[in-house]
Amino acid sequence: MLTPQCSTHFRSRAMFPVPASLATSLTALWDPLGIGQAAVDYWRDTLERSVLYLDVMRQRGNQYLEHMEQTRPTVLGFETELLVDGRTLARPVNYELLRILPPDGVEIDEDQRPFVVIDPRAGHGPGIGGFKPDSEIGVALRAGHPCYFIGFLPFPEPGQTVEDVVEAEIEFLRAVIARHPQTTERPMVVGNCQAGWQMMMAAALEPACFGPILIAGAPLSYWAGERGRAPMRYTGGMTGGSWITALASDLGAGSFDGAWLVQNFEKLNPSNTLWSKQYRLFANVDSEAERYLEFERWWGGHVVLAGEEIQYIVDNLFVGNRLSTAQLLTRDGRRIDLRNIRSPIVVFCSRGDDITPPPQALGWITDLYDSVDDIQANEQTILYCIHDTTGHLGIFVSSSVSRKEHAEFTANMDYIDILPPGLYETQVTERPASASGSVDGDYLLEFSPRELEDVEAVVQPLQEDERRFATVARLSEINLGLYQRYLQPWLRAWMTPEAARWMRRLHPIRLGYKLLSDRNPATVPLPVLADAVRANRAPVGDGNPWRAAEQVVSDNIVRGLDAYRDLRDRATEWAFLEVYGQPWLQILAGLGADRGEVPNRRPGRAPEHRHFIARRRAELRAKMDQGTSHDAVVRAIIFVLGGAPSTDERNFQRLKATRAEVEPGTDLAHFKAVVREQFFVLKLDAVAALEALPTLLATDSVESIDRQLAHVEHVVAASAPLSASSQIRLERVRTLFHTAREAARERMKKAEGGAKPELPRA
Look at residue 501 and give its three-state secondary structure: helix
Q: Per-residue pLDDT averaged across 310-330, rounded?
A: 92
Out of 461, 481, 508, pick the residue that ends a domain.
461
Structure confidence by residue, pLDDT tens digits, 373-405: 888 878 889 999 998 888 888 887 777 776 777
User: Same domain, yes or no, for 19 and 107?
Assistant: no
User: Same domain, yes or no, for 110 and 23?
Assistant: no
Out of 407, 434, 461, pick the residue that ends a domain.
461
Least confident of 351-360, 594-603, 726-735: 594-603
Count the domains in the chain: 3
User: Same domain, yes or no, for 14 and 111?
Assistant: no
Confidence of residue 411 (pLDDT cuts 50, 70, 90): confident
For 741, the domain range is 623-752
Please tell me the predicted confidence (pLDDT) of residue 691: 87
Please tell me the predicted confidence (pLDDT) of residue 183: 84
Domain assignment present for 240:
no
Rounded Cα distance between 260 and 153, Å, is 18
- Higher-pLDDT residue of 434 and 251 is 251
User: Same domain, yes or no, for 116 and 214?
Assistant: yes
Domain assignment present for 452:
yes
Domain assignment present for 405:
yes
Q: Per-residue pLDDT averaged across 218-236, rounded?
A: 89
User: Same domain, yes or no, for 739 and 630?
Assistant: yes
Question: Cβ distance 737 to 705 under 8 Å?
Answer: yes
Please tell me the predicted confidence (pLDDT) of residue 676: 74
Please tell me the predicted confidence (pLDDT) of residue 719: 57
Please tell me the predicted confidence (pLDDT) of residue 552: 95
Q: What is the dihedral angle through the alpha carbons of 136, 140, 146, 150, rounded to the nearest 10 degrees?
A: -10
Please tell me the predicted confidence (pLDDT) of residue 534: 94
User: Same domain, yes or no, for 87 and 10?
Assistant: no
User: Same domain, yes or no, for 22 and 124?
Assistant: no
Please tell me the predicted confidence (pLDDT) of residue 432: 58
Please tell me the predicted confidence (pLDDT) of residue 669: 67
Indicate the burial class of 686 (C-beta count within 10 angstroms; 0-12, 13-18, 19 or more): middle
Rounded Cα distance between 646 and 169, Å, is 35
Domain assignment present for 744:
yes
Structure confidence by residue, pLDDT tens digits, 489-518: 999 999 999 999 999 999 999 998 999 999
**pLDDT exceeds cutoff 70 at 667:** no
Out of 430, 461, 492, pick the residue that ends a domain.
461
The end-to-end CA distance of the chain, in Å, is 96
User: Same domain, yes or no, for 347 and 215?
Assistant: yes
Please tell me the predicted confidence (pLDDT) of residue 33: 59
Confidence of residue 18 (pLDDT cuts 50, 70, 90): very low
Please tell me the predicted confidence (pLDDT) of residue 459: 93
Please tell me the predicted confidence (pLDDT) of residue 72: 86
Structure confidence by residue, pLDDT tens digits, 450-501: 999 999 999 998 889 999 999 999 999 999 999 999 999 999 999 999 999 9
User: Same domain, yes or no, for 19 and 157?
Assistant: no
Domain assignment present for 48:
no
3-state secondary structure 121-133: CCCECCCHHHCCC
Backbone angles phi, psi at 336, to 5 degrees: -90, 95
Question: Cβ distance 225 to 321 under 8 Å?
Answer: no
User: Same domain, yes or no, for 107 and 208?
Assistant: yes
Confidence of residue 58 (pLDDT cuts 50, 70, 90): very high
Domain assignment present for 733:
yes
**pLDDT exceeds cutoff 50 at 138:** yes
Structure confidence by residue, pLDDT tens digits, 235-268: 999 999 999 999 999 999 999 999 999 998 899 9
User: Same domain, yes or no, for 643 and 710?
Assistant: yes
Q: Per-residue pLDDT averaged across 420-436, rounded?
A: 74
Domain assignment present for 294:
no
CATH number of the CATH domain containing 158: 3.40.50.1820
Domain assignment present for 536:
no
User: Same domain, yes or no, for 22 and 130?
Assistant: no
**pLDDT exceeds cutoff 50 at 121:** yes
How does the average pLDDT of the chain come out, rounded? 84
